[in-house]
Amino acid sequence: MKKKVDKNISMVGSGWSFQNIGKKFDSHVKKSIPFYDEVHELCLSCSEFFTHENATFLDVGCSTGTLIKKFSKKYNIKNHKINFIGIDTVASMINEANKKNSDKRAKFKKISILDLNYKNRIDLITSIFTIQFIKPNQRQKSFNNIYKILAKGGAFILFEKVLANNSKFQDIYNGIYNDFKRKNNFTEEEIAQKSLSLRGKLESFTSIENKECLKKAGFKKINTLFKWLCFEGTICVK
């Protein structure tokens, strides 16, 4: 049985899946995640402190390649050999990313961060609301791998939906966030179905838990970059 989570997206059964929604993802995510474009702009601004003429950028969970396209446009500089890599585990996302990006410096691969083994060190790694979909018992491995492939002095920018540190604050955050979705024309049924579909798929950590994972991976320089209710950005420098 199909259940609507957006005007143009239906889920079969009870579980959320990114499969086969590549063409509809961009419009859905902008309505679902507050300050989504501003998050991208913040990543672009931060990148200026970690780039050089032979830099490599990696976007983990690149979806349809929107951030990579913005990076390639920003760094369309003559004689610079900056490379952009986007990885995602969903084929339809990679297909849309390839369609969207004509820059030959941009490469997209269907692979998980858990399996990525990149020999050349990467100067900037971004992950925009992606790690939260990795099983909790594999999350530390994700952070370990990110630290491993990051260049010395490079940065990792992580955006995640986090849990509040107590149930009262979580209720407040959930209420305000649902109001945000209503303002973006989600119906009550769509809000409820999306919440149900994410059970067992999106398992958020608290801010403290994420930072502990980052520390265990090896990061010592960690700072909050952005915060709106349960939506949080963190920057780490190796």
Identify the pLDDT of residue 225. 97
Please state, for a pLDDT cut of 70, what percent of the chain lies above it.
90
- pTM score of the predicted model: 0.90
Write out the two tokens for 105: 């410096």
Residue 11 has pLDDT above 70, yes or no: no
Question: Which range in 106-120, 121-135, 177-191 is most confidently predicted, on average pLDDT?
Answer: 121-135
22: pLDDT confidence band, cut at 50, 70 and 90?
low
CA torsion angle 8 13 16 18 (round to 10): -60
- % helix, strand, coil for the chain, step of 5: 40, 25, 35
136-173 per-position pLDDT tens digit:
999 999 999 999 999 999 999 999 999 999 999 999 99
pLDDT of residue 202: 87
pLDDT at 79: 67
pLDDT score, position 21: 61
What's the whole-number mean pLDDT along residues 183-190? 90
Q: Which of 135, 134, 158 is nearest to 146 (CA)?
A: 158
pLDDT in tens, 101-118: 999 999 999 999 999 988
CA distances (Å), origin 221, targets 71, 74, 161, 199:
24, 26, 21, 33
Indicate the DSSP class of residue 131.
G
Question: What DSSP character marks residue 226?
Answer: E
Give the domain range for residue 88: 2-237
The pLDDT score that the predictor gives to residue 109 is 96
CATH number of the structural domain spanning residue 19: 3.40.50.150
pLDDT at 56: 96
Q: Is the pLDDT of residue 13 over 60?
A: no
Q: Hey, how many other C-beta atoms are within 10 angstroms of the C-beta on 11?
A: 20
Token readout for 1 is 């049985």
- Per the prediction, the chain carries an average pLDDT of 89
How does residue 193 score in pLDDT terms, banded at 50, 70 and 90?
Answer: confident
Number of structural domains found in the chain? 1
